[in-house]
C-alpha cells in the first residue's frame, strides 16, 4: 500500500490506529475557548466528528496519513511585487490530491477486498496534523506545522480513513530543540513566545484568506508584502534546508504569475484574476478579497513602514 502511494506521488505514507483523539480534543477545546480561531466559526462545529474517526467511517480501524510535496522556491521577478504562498502557485491541491487518493482507495479495495473508507484533503472535520503526528509522518513544530527531518514542512497532508486494520507506525519525537526562529520571525506575533500554540486570528494567512472583513489597522506595516497566505515561519525554519522542489506539474505557476510587476498586481482586473487563478486555491479569497489585500499593502507602502517590531499580542 505504501509503495502504491509512492507511485502516486505521495512521498510519505504511514498509518495510525483509528481511535478517539482524547488528548487532542482537550487541546482543541481550550484553543477554541481562547478565541484563537478568529472568525472561523466552522472550526467549532462537528466537534465529535473531528475527534472520533469512527463517526466519519463506522467501524474505522486505520487512518492512512500521506504527505505530498509542493515546495517551489521560485520568487517573483519584481522584488516589490506582492507575494502568495507557494502552495497556491498552481492548480488547487484539493482537486489534485483527491483524485490521487480516490485512485489509492480503489487500489486498496482491489488488493485487499471490499472496504469502507473516505478520503480527506484539508476538507471535512479531520484533525489531519494530529493524525499525521500519531502516524509518525513528523512532529508538530513550534510554528504548529508538521515537520519531517528529511523533508521540512512544505507538503500537503491527506488521509484515508477506512475499516481495514493496517499495522500502525510509531510517532516521531520532537526535534525543534531550543530553536525559535519561527517565533521571532513572525511579524504579527501569531506564535506564542513558547511556541507550539498559534493564535490563528493574528496569522497573515488567516488575515488574507479566511477573514472576510477589513484587515484590522493594528496589522498595518506588518504584512511584509503577503497578498495571499504566508510562508515566513517555513522560510526561516532550519529543517526546510532539506526541502526539495516538487515534481508535480499541476503545481507549477502560470508563466505570467511570477513575472507580474507590483504595478500589474495593483491594476489586476477581474478578468485577469479569473484567467490567472482559474484553477488555483487563490480563488478561495475571491477577486474582491484579493483586491482588499492589495489595497491594504499599497496603503502600507504609501504611508511607510513602522519600526518592524510587529503588533503586540492581545
Q: Which residues are catalytic?
A: 122
Q: Which runs of consecutive H residues, i.e. helices, occur in 67-163? A: 93-112, 128-135
**Residue 13: phi, psi to the nearest 5?**
-155, 125
Q: How far is CA 219 from the centre of its chain?
A: 21
Pairing relationship of beta strands 83-84 and 226-228 according to DSSP bridges:
parallel
Q: Which runs of consecutive H residues, i.e. helices, occur in 139-236? A: 181-185, 204-205, 232-235
* SS3 state of residue 199: coil
Contact 2, 64 (CB under 8 A): no
Q: Which residues pair with 84 in a beta bridge?
A: 228
**Residue 98: phi, psi to the nearest 5?**
-60, -40
| Measured distance CA(163)–CA(165) in Å, rounded | 7
| Measured distance CA(47)–CA(20) in Å, rounded | 12
| Measured distance CA(148)–CA(301) in Å, rounded | 37
Amino acid at each position: 500500500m505504501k509503495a502504491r502511494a509512492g507511485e502516486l506521488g505521495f512521498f510519505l505514507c504511514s498509518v495510525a490506529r483509528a481511535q478517539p483523539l482524547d488528548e487532542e480534543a482537550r487541546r482543541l477545546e481550550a484553543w477554541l475557548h481562547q478565541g484563537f480561531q478568529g472568525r472561523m466559526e466552522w472550526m467549532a462545529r462537528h466537534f465529535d466528528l473531528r475527534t472520533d474517526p469512527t463517526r466519519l467511517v463506522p467501524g474505522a480501524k486505520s487512518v492512512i496519513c500521506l504527505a505530498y510535496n509542493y515546495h517551489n522556491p521560485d520568487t517573483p521577478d519584481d522584488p516589490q511585487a506582492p507575494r502568495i504562498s507557494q502552495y497556491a502557485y498552481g492548480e488547487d491541491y484539493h482537486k489534485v490530491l483527491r483524485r490521487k487518493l480516490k485512485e489509492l482507495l480503489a487500489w486498496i479495495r482491489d488488493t485487499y477486498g471490499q472496504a469502507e473508507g473516505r478520503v480527506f484533503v484539508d476538507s471535512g472535520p479531520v484533525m489531519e496534523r494530529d493524525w499525521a503526528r500519531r502516524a509518525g509522518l513528523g512532529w508538530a513544530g513550534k510554528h504548529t506545522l508538521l515537520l519531517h527531518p528529511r523533508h521540512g514542512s512544505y507538503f500537503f497532508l491527506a488521509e484515508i480513513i477506512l475499516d481495514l486494520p493496517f499495522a500502525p507506525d510509531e510517532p516521531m519525537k520532537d526535534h525543534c530543540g531550543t530553536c525559535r526562529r519561527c517565533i521571532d520571525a513572525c511579524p504579527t506575533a501569531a506564535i506564542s513566545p513558547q511556541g507550539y500554540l498559534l493564535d490563528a486570528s493574528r496569522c497573515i494567512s488567516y488575515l488574507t484568506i479566511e477573514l472576510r472583513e477589513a484587515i484590522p489597522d493594528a496589522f498595518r506595516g506588518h504584512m511584509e508584502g503577503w497578498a495571499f497566505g504566508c510562508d515566513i515561519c517555513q522560510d526561516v525554519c532550519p529543517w526546510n534546508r532539506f526541502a526539495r522542489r516538487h515534481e508535480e506539474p499541476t503545481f507549477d505557476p502560470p508563466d505570467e504569475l511570477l513575472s507580474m510587476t507590483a504595478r500589474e498586481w495593483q491594476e489586476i482586473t477581474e478578468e485577469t484574476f479569473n484567467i490567472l487563478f482559474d484553477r488555483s486555491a487563490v480563488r478561495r479569497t475571491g477577486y474582491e478579497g484579493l483586491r482588499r489585500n492589495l489595497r491594504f499593502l499599497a496603503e502600507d507602502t504609501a504611508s511607510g513602514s513602522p519600526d518592524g517590531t510587529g503588533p503586540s499580542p492581545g
